[in-house]
């Protein structure tokens, strides 16, 4: 059996642990197996750049951050766009899949990766997806590998900000990754004891937020607000995408937290500061839970290869591994429900969401 495997999109903790779990299962349970690791994500499949993986290649990578195969972003919207007289990127991949005589392609990635994997599946390639993203936004699975490590890193950053905020009697807006969904900000904010959490799913009101902060500062030394990078005001939420893009262009390169710090500082007497946690949330060694989750997801993906269950992506539901049909979940997003149990319980604990 000839298997292709690749890591695509943004990196996250646990990618190497998944590769390891997948390969160890294959080398142990599948006879005459050959595993081709494509380099730099889908680009490797397009350009036929790969390395053959051996048992020695996956020893000692359980704790290693990043990905030994490298990764790149290949915009889904460009997959079927022709450039001159040449084939589309999708056609290139399908052609190389056939030329290399692959029996199956295994893709480790997030939402965009899964959409492209679905296209390949529709084109007749045998594909299995493995759910990776610190955003935890893949539809149909309770959790994705990399998420819990990022939560721990973001929560630690928020807690560290609290000590300096207390020392200087300041208001801090701490920006957490999450452009379209707020799972990471929500979990990290709760775990770190943030006073307010601003999510893309719940538009905030600047005046009400300023009043909340002012009231808090009357009885304590600091306020820490966890801000998802995609958080937006009610004013922005009412705009069309183009209007919002033009509006934000007026702020230059300022991030959501930086814009908020500037706006709220005009409404309250206390000093406001912004901190962007950035890519540290995606790097480094995975936590113990993600090492476990990545190992079992990798091994289960290899099991699906062994039994010939293609056109699916692995999922976790109620602490059990399963799978979803790729075409059923591709293009769908798991968002934080504004009226969901976690948000409602957080509000009952006094956490403010900016309304």
Q: By CB neighbour count within 10 A (0-12 exposed, 13-18 middle, 19+ buried), where does 142 fall?
A: middle
Cα–Cα nearest to 152, from 316, 320, 285 = 285
In angstroms, how far apart are the furthest CA atoms of the chain?
70
Angstrom distance (rounded) from CA 298 to CA 261: 42
Active-site pick, 135, 137, 195, 290: 135
Q: What is d(CA 55, CA 27) in angstroms, rounded to the nearest whole number?
A: 7
* Inter-residue contact 226 to 188 (CB < 8 Å): yes
Q: What CA–CA distance (Å, rounded) separates 139 from 260?
A: 30
- Count other C-beta atoms under 10 Å from residue 5's C-beta: 27
> Going by C-beta distance under 8 Å and a sequence separation of 6 or more, which residues neighbour residue 325?
311, 312
Query: How many separate helices (H) and strands (E) can be counted in the chain?
Result: 13, 11
137 counts as catalytic: no
Q: Is 248 exposed, middle or buried (0-12, 13-18, 19+ CB in 10 A)?
A: middle
Catalytic sites, residue numbers? 135
């Amino acid at each position: 059996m000839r298997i292709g495997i690749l890591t695509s999109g943004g990196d996250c903790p646990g990618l190497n642990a998944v590769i390891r779990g997948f390969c160890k299962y294959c080398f142990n349970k599948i006879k005459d197996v050959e595993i081709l690791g494509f380099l730099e994500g889908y680009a490797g499949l397009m350009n036929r750049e790969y390395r053959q993986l051996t048992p020695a290649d996956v020893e000692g990578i359980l704790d290693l951050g990043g990905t030994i195969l490298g990764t790149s972003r290949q915009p889904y919207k460009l997959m079927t766009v022709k450039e001159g007289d040449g084939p589309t990127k999708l056609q290139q991949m399908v052609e190389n899949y056939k030329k290399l005589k692959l029996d199956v392609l295994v893709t480790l990635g997030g939402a965009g990766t899964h959409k492209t994997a679905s296209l390949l599946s529709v084109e007749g390639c045998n594909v299995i997806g493995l759910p990776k993203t610190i955003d935890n936004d893949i539809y149909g699975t309770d959790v994705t590998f990399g998420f819990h490590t990022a939560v721990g890193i973001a929560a630690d950053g928020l807690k560290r900000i609290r000590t300096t905020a207390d020392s200087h009697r300041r208001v801090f807006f701490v920006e957490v990754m999450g452009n379209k969904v707020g799972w990471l900000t929500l979990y990290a904010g709760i775990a770190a004891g943030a006073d307010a959490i601003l999510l893309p799913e719940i538009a905030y009101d600047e005046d009400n937020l300023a009043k909340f902060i002012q009231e808090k500062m009357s009885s304590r030394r600091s306020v820490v607000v966890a801000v998802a990078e995609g958080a937006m005001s009610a004013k922005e939420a009412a705009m069309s995408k183009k209007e919002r893009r033009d509006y934000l262009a007026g702020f230059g390169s300022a991030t959501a937290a930086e814009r908020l710090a500037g706006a709220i500082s005009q409404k309250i007497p206390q000093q406001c500061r912004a901190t962007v946690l950035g890519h540290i949330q995606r790097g480094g060694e995975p936590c113990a839970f993600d090492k476990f989750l990545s190992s079992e997801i990798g091994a289960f993906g290899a099991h699906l290869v062994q039994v010939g269950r293609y056109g699916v992506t692995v999922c976790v539901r109620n602490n059990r591994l399963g799978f979803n049909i790729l075409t059923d979940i591709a293009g769908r997003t798991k968002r934080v429900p504004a009226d969901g149990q976690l948000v409602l319980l957080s509000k009952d604990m006094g956490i403010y969401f900016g309304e």
